Amino acid sequence: MHRLPLALLIALTALLAASVPAQAAKNRWIQKKAPLNIAHQGGEDEFPSNTLYAFRRAVRAGADMLELDIGVTKDDKVIVMHDTTVDGKTNGTGNVSSLTLRRIKRLDAAYWFAPKAESHYSHELRASAYSFRGIATGRRKPPRGYRRSDFRVPTLREVMRAFPHTPINVEIKGRTPEEDPAEYLYNARVLAKLLKGTRRRDLIVVSFQQPAVDRFHALAPKIDVAPGIGDAASWVLANDQPGPGTVAFQVPITYSGLAVTSVENVARAHRQGFAWQNWFSSDDSDAPATWRKLIDMCVDGTMTSRPRAYERVLRAHPRPRRCR
């Protein structure tokens, strides 16, 4: 066999390397055997949203990854909460940004969770519907194996400490219901300051607002990110490449009437070295029939509000061979 000149060999190697995105060969988020069971807010339809209790129950039920939302308190502490106010989920009132961590830690994070109701966080039900109410404040005993603190609002640091080997998806929220872009940038900066020194490489940070993702990546470039709505839409519609640090698209099935998740889009993402993870818009059904369709599309993870039920479907519905 003839040997190629060294210079030509180097040039060919560089050309081949450039033809395949760097993520393709090493993207740990692309799943071959089965999609990740990602507990959205810890599984907010089965357990009280974004609490340590929910995260512990979800992992014990089979969740592979936790999805959570972060806000920043008045004293710049990063807490885990979906809403920009504490009104909807706790027994308190006010914007997260107007309260100190000390005040937030006094609240009952499971106060408005009604597990058997159709609307799990309705404020219109009988008191008996809220079966976890009062555990955080000491009025009721926690379930065996859990503590009162599992029902309070956790900090991100506490969640990371409690789950050192469980991947975590962190969504940056704003500071007030008005959702001023500047508030997302502020929270991105505070989050980056917290995470910049971590050695963990099993985190993904995302936000609906792309400037927040960009700001976070600029400040903490070693941590994986997923694009906001703008960059994701540009990729879907025009094949524009997402920003640096992107490892996964985190998208709904449909968005404003547009079909986003399809066999073709998932395959295209994989060819370019990106994972595909789903969340559910108001037009999508977070239910077994939809989960099976997503599994058959070869998605890499599903952010479900029902991780316990989703795990049962995963066990009974193996993904097609073409996904492997």
pLDDT higher than threshold 50 for residue 14: no
- pLDDT band (50, 70, 90) for residue 177: confident
Please give the pLDDT value at position 6. 43
Please give the pLDDT value at position 26. 83
Comparing 5 with 172, the larger pLDDT belongs to 172
- Smallest CA-to-CA distance from 243 within 260, 262, 224, 263 is with 224
Mean of per-residue pLDDT scores for the chain = 92
Indicate the Cα dihedral angle 210, 158, 129, 84, nearest 10°.
-30
Please give the pLDDT value at position 217. 98
Q: For residue 289, with 0-12 CB atoms within 10 Å meaning exposed, 13-18 middle and 19 or more buried, which class applies?
A: exposed
Residue ranges of domains in the chain:
23-88+154-323
d(CA 236, CA 75): 39
Q: List pLDDT tens digits, range 301-316.
A: 999 999 999 999 999 9
Please give the pLDDT value at position 17. 39
| Over residues 113-129, mean pLDDT | 97
Please give the pLDDT value at position 82. 96
pLDDT higher than threshold 90 for residue 238: yes
d(CA 31, CA 11): 32
Please give the pLDDT value at position 258. 86
What's 243's DSSP letter?
P
Q: List pLDDT tens digits, range 65-119.
A: 999 999 999 999 999 999 999 999 999 999 999 999 999 999 999 999 999 999 9
d(CA 31, CA 202): 14
Token couple for 61:
């039920």
Separation of first and last alpha carbons in the chain: 35
- pLDDT band (50, 70, 90) for residue 324: confident
Task: Return the number of other C-beta atoms located less than 10 Å from residue 9's C-beta.
Answer: 11
Please give the pLDDT value at position 86. 97
78-80 and 65-72 strand pairing: antiparallel
d(CA 129, CA 121): 10
- Percent of the residues in the chain that have a pLDDT greater than 70, as a whole number: 92
* This model's pTM is above 0.85: yes
Please give the pLDDT value at position 291. 98
Please give the pLDDT value at position 16. 36
Are 103 and 91 in contact, with CB atoms under 8 Å apart?
Answer: no
Q: In sequence order, which ranges of 197-287 are alpha helices (DSSP H)?
A: 210-219, 229-238, 263-271
- pLDDT band (50, 70, 90) for residue 18: very low
d(CA 30, CA 23): 10
Token couple for 253:
């099935």
Topology (CATH level 3) of domain 23-88+154-323: TIM Barrel (3.20.20)
